[in-house]
Amino acid sequence: MSDEFTTTVYYDDDADESVLADRTVAVLGYGSQGHAHAQNLADSGVDVVVGLREGSSSREEARTDGLEVATPVEAAAQADTVSVLVPDTVQPDVYEAIADEMEAGDTLQFAHGFNIHYGQIEPDPEVNVTMVAPKSPGHLVRRTYKRGEGTPGLIAVYQDPSGEAKDQALAYAKAIGCTRAGVIETSFAEETETDLFGEQAVLCGGVTELMKQGYETLVDAGYSPEMAYFECLNEMKLIVDLIYEGGLMEMWDSVSDTAEYGGLTRGKMVVDDDARENMEEVLRQVQDGEFAKEWISENQTNRPSYKQLRQAEQEHDAEVVGERLRDLFAWDEQASE
């Protein structure tokens, strides 16, 4: 355990995998996270069953990977820990189907806190409720585990009637490889709210709008769409990779002095106090549940706004130009090597 951070971080020595020795883990879902969790758990000696609906295209894949497959209800019935790794939007229906199979002392586990935090799932008070959330796509969770390494993750406990919920979460995190890198202790509320805010204000919303606005500014000023795409969208990966590898100073040290001075002096002209106030409004809507209510309602009405916004994004000129330019790169060939 490390005290160098502002929150508690756990490593391999802090987790006891024997806690899971007599437990069966049902992994519901076999997508990005599901396949990685199930395979890593199995390789760590944990008894695993994958829960997938009849007719799921992933059933044969999971069997080919050497895993037992059952329906979600059947899997929950034979499990002591149920890890719910299906999409957020279908989790409430899945939980309703398996709720009667959850007994006192069982553990209901998630990789994201949305449905618990916003009350879409209300577990039996006699059931442990935990979170183990790798901070990485599933394919990296699996790849790093196979290399004897791991990806950082989060753990949280929402309900602990047995008094063993945290130990179980740490054991699970160790079994999928996360404690090799370090697991940060958080809460369902903190994980959910920071995750949604980061996606909306910065990672998925803020960055894409910034890139599109930059593209439109250059094109409207008479520059070629191709140059605008390269400068405002394509090169974003170069900058993000540098930050990912070594933080902001690694990025500043790697770009030219001209780029650094221009960024340091002009960046705040774009992302100014008004942008900060807008971010605070985004955060408020996450914290008070306004966004959650909106998204839940959107799904209940067949996603009309979502579909319209997605269509507009697909038709944006930057996407049209970018599709042509991306053909110039040999990414497909590199990925297959």
Residues catalogued as catalytic: 112
- For β-strands 128-134 and 153-159, DSSP reports them as antiparallel
Closest Cα partner for 240 from 261, 262, 255?
Answer: 255
CA distances from 228 to 232, 266, 318 (A): 6, 18, 8
Rg of the chain over Cα atoms, rounded to whole angstroms, equals 22
Q: What are phi and psi for residue 157, nearest 5 degrees?
A: -125, 125
CA distances from 240 to 32, 103, 147, 267 (A): 22, 46, 25, 16
For residue 192, count other CB atoms closer than 10 A to its CB.
24
Helix (H) / strand (E) element for 242: namely: helix 236-254
DSSP 8-state class, residue 253 = H
Is there a contact between 180 and 188 (Cβ–Cβ < 8 Å)?
A: no
| Residue 5 token pair | 């951070």
Q: Can you spell out the DSSP letters for 150-218?
A: ---EEEEEEE-TTS-HHHHHHHHHHHTTHHHH-EEE--HHHHHHHHHHIIIIIITTHHHHHHHHHHHHH
